[in-house]
């Protein structure tokens, strides 16, 4: 299913409404990706001002969700879309919910960055969190690209990346527990690091959710709560 499948209505205004809402979802996704990047940079560098900037911009993410949700409801009421158009609106509403939650997780990372800025910094300068952040932002970017192109197979490929994110998160958790056991003085810093890692891991989960919505949009199949192997099969059928 490509963009052409939703762009041939008698009403030109309907075409424009659908395209506008798609573009706004992608713009919201771009803002969320920027929030994640800035929150992580603030944590790694100990830049409190940058972290506070992330927190103060969270309202913009929320505003996107409210505006797109309202426009989606108006399209449902005025146009009563069916088939692929209806799936598009459903996918949009679900996607912006996950994007808003990603924004919340980015805000959590920014708040942890402020806590950690006053503490002694580890020798690796939180490189494990920086790498995990790179991974989840790559997932988000791939999910949004699949949404933009309505590419179910690409979405399935991005969803598979969640396995790597989960493995990396588990490795960080084991490392942090070891640090706390070796030196109890590191408990507070380690806990904040663990909370940051958890927030980033959750962003990966939300990116996978968006991939599932893309497959639903393109294939008309609900692929939630199935294995990644089954998801890939459904996307390619």
- Condensed to tens digits (0 to 9), the pLDDT of residues 44-54 reads 999 999 999 99
Report the distance separating Cα 188 and Cα 175, nearest Å: 15
Q: Give residue 11's pLDDT.
A: 65
Q: Give residue 184's pLDDT.
A: 84
* 3-state SS class at 118: coil
Q: Give residue 178's pLDDT.
A: 92
Q: Give residue 8's pLDDT.
A: 54
- Residue-number span of the structural domain to which 184 is assigned: 3-236
Report the distance separating Cα 12 and Cα 23, nearest Å: 17
CATH of the domain at 105: 1.20.58.220
Number of domains in the chain: 1
CB 163 within 8 A of CB 136: no
Report the distance separating Cα 221 and Cα 93, nearest Å: 17
Positions of the chain with pLDDT under 50: 1-7
């Amino acid at each position: 299913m490509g963009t052409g499948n939703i762009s041939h209505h008698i009403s030109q205004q309907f075409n424009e409404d659908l395209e506008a809402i798609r573009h706004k979802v992608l713009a919201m996704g771009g803002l969320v990706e920027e929030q994640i990047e800035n929150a992580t940079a603030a944590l790694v560098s100990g830049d409190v001002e940058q972290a506070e900037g992330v927190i103060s911009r969270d309202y913009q993410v929320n505003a996107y969700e409210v505006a797109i949700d309202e426009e989606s409801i108006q399209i449902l009421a005025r146009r009563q879309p069916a088939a692929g158009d209806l799936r598009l609106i459903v996918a949009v509403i679900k996607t912006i919910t996950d994007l808003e939650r990603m924004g919340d997780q980015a805000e959590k990372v920014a708040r942890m960055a402020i806590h950690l800025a006053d503490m002694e910094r580890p020798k690796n300068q939180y490189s494990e969190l920086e790498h995990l952040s790179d991974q989840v932002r790559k997932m988000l970017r791939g999910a949004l690209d699949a949404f933009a192109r309505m590419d179910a197979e690409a979405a399935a490929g991005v969803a598979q990346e969640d396995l790597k994110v989960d493995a990396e998160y588990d490795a960080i958790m084991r490392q942090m527990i070891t640090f706390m056991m070796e030196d109890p003085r590191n408990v507070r810093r380690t806990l904040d690091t663990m909370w940051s890692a958890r927030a980033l891991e959750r962003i990966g989960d939300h990116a996978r959710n968006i991939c599932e919505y893309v497959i639903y949009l393109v294939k008309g199949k609900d692929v939630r709560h199935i294995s990644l192997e089954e998801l890939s099969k459904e996307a390619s059928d």
